[in-house]
Amino acid sequence: MKFDVSEISSLIKQEVLRYQTQLEVSQVGTVLEVGDGIARIYGLDNAMVGEMLEFEGGIVGEVFNLDEDSIGAVIYGDFQKVCEGGTVRSTGRLLSVPVGPELLGRVVNALCEPIDGAGPFKAEMRRFIEFAAPGIAQRQPVKEPLATGIKSVDSMIPIGRGQRELIIGDRKTGKTAIALDTIINQKGKGVICVYVAIGQKESTVAEVVSTLKKHGAMDHTVVVSATAAQSAAMQYIAPYAGAAIAEYFMYEKQGHTLCVYDDLSKHAIAYRELSLLLRRPPGREAFPGDIFYLHSRLLERSAKLSNALGGGSMTALPIVETLEGQVSAYIPTNIISITDGQIYLQRDLFLAGVRPAIDVGISVSRVGGDAQPQAMKKVAPKLRLDLAAFRELQDFARLGTDLDEMAQKQLDRGYRMVEVLKQKQFSPMSVADEVISILAGSSGILDDIDATHVGHFLEELIAWLKLEAGEYLDEIDKIGKLSDELLSAMNDAVAAYKTIYKFSFGA
């Protein structure tokens, strides 16, 4: 068998041209000491702050401190598997997490790895944990309502898509309940929700997931869990991972999203723990100097994007726990100054049976009024001021002072409006139902009904209206406006039902 020399030489030339030497160059360092989720590493001279590191066993870390002869890094995951003397490889990349529609209905950890036992998923793409907030030119004013389904919030402290509204109050005053009601109310409205549990008990997170499943809200929700049993590092990055998931739907899908951070006071404590372990100098209350920047760079990512970027939005509902009502403490005041308003829940009101226990005196929405439906604006223009005046008058009346007729009428109207605004947990209402309820209270129609019967009257009224005058409710829900003719017709309908109610129930 003869070989053609020219053919052989051409084949050799082709192989030589195809062959490329690929030399993978990576910096490798050594773990000097490790403990409490913190590692001190020697040998990574060119490492950058925020750079992703790979420890032995595939465990991920991040560069935090650049010291003179070593670097300080935090370890995400099981830091007990990292040993002194082990090798660390720098990646040259920033920390990122998998995001995509595959995460909907799932419970994931702070690295967006599934922990719900429903098997792995293949995410569509990855996004950086830290991402620059959109600038002024990339935003547009908040003008679209995000209905919570809670009468007292939608009427007095309205929230718009793209807003940041703080929920603040003592422990066990119903903060998480407001956030969960809001998530449940987004069912069928095209809003993707991300609930981030920071430093909660595992049983509490399981209860939240069970509640969302029970009300059919998990289909549009992602739960990011960094429980109290996990390291401070995982609790620290959890809200940023939640924001990255929401940003995927906002930027890539031009959709509307809602992020609940429950809660940022525990997040600040986790960051303080990391900082002190890394020997960063402590400041006020031992928190590091950049604690304000920690939360501002998270919450500034919430926005209503300009039409050029698709018009998507991310609404943030950060939750902060106070101690004995100390709203003026360090972390609460920091986050109040970053957000666009706050819903303050008062323990005394909660214990008195007012649910949700919103203190209208210091609760405020700085931008949501522009996004409030016209129908709600028309029936509740002075509701917040009237309730605040009622609280003052109520305190005055407790002294046993005799009140004149006008003051007594105002007090009686106030008691009925408090009953109107009470609402059962996990039962969000449509805008039309809220408008009808507030209209009945503010118009004076309930003034001669016993205050203890107000809640029952409203339930029966809404059920009757859906049967007899459903077109009124449909018009408010579809258009969001309340014309003078419709307002007059609704007043007549409510007055007519009051006669039926008194005859039927003798109230």
Handedness of CA 285, 290, 293, 295 (dihedral sign): negative
Residue 228's φ and ψ, nearest 5 degrees, are: -65, -25
126, 366, 391, 413: the active-site residue: 366
- 3-state SS class at 231: coil
195, 260 contact by CB (below 8 A)? yes
The DSSP H or E segment spanning 348 is helix 347-351
Catalytic (active site) residue 366 = yes
Helix residue spans in 168-288 (DSSP H):
175-185, 202-214, 232-247, 264-277
Q: Where are the extended beta strands (E) located within 19-124?
A: 28-35, 38-42, 51-55, 60-66, 71-76, 87-94, 96-99, 107-108
Phi first, then psi, for residue 375 (nearest 5°) are -60, -40
Token pair for 287:
């928190």
* Beta-carbon contacts of residue 499 (< 8 Å; ≥ 6 apart): none
Cα separation, 415 vs 247, whole angstroms:
43
**Angle subtended by helix axes 291-299 and 330-338, to nearest 10:** 30
Active site residues: 366
